[in-house]
Amino acid sequence: MLIRGRCHCGNIGFSLTWEPDPAEIAARACSCSFCVKHGGVWTSYPKGSLEVSVEDPALVSRYGFGTRTAEFHVCTRCGVVPVVTSSIDERLYAVVSVNAFEGVNPALLRHAPASFDGEGTDDRLARRKRNWIADVRFSEAG
Ligand SMILES: [Zn+2]
């Protein structure tokens, strides 16, 4: 299955290859202080491959906070956050926002809360290495 998503204005787009086709897609409502404020709901598939295309990199803010091990890619034109990346041992990992999906059957989404409060940085990075998309490429369309 090829899952496409984008921010509202289209500046940040992604396509996630998910093989074999998912029977369901975990949609994790993150309870961190940033995601609570913008309603962040994320998914990832460790065996998937993700291509992120950016039309105008000048219109992307990379926001980090707390441990600063994750970067939220915020479109500064429309305010949507389609992707989060984390660089671990020189490899880029990512999760994508299910809210940014285009044309994906919502019945596939299995919504669940996720709380990572109290998790130490080492545990956090180890979890991302296990669960996040490990094949991530960025391209600039313009
Ligand atoms: Zn946008």
> Residue 71 belongs to what H/E stretch?
strand 71-75
CA nearest to 96, candidates 130, 119, 112, 73: 73
Of the CA atoms within 13 Å of residue 32, those in its CB half-sphere come to 18
Band of residue 142 on the pLDDT scale cut at 50, 70, 90: low
Centre of ligand 1 from the C-alpha of residue 126, in Å: 31
Centre of ligand 1 from the C-alpha of residue 37, in Å: 18
pTM comes to: 0.94
Residue 121 structure tokens: 């940085």
Centre of ligand 1 from the C-alpha of residue 81, in Å: 8
Centre of ligand 1 from the C-alpha of residue 59, in Å: 8
Band of residue 96 on the pLDDT scale cut at 50, 70, 90: very high
* 46-84 pLDDT, tens digit each: 999 999 999 999 999 999 988 889 999 999 999 999 999
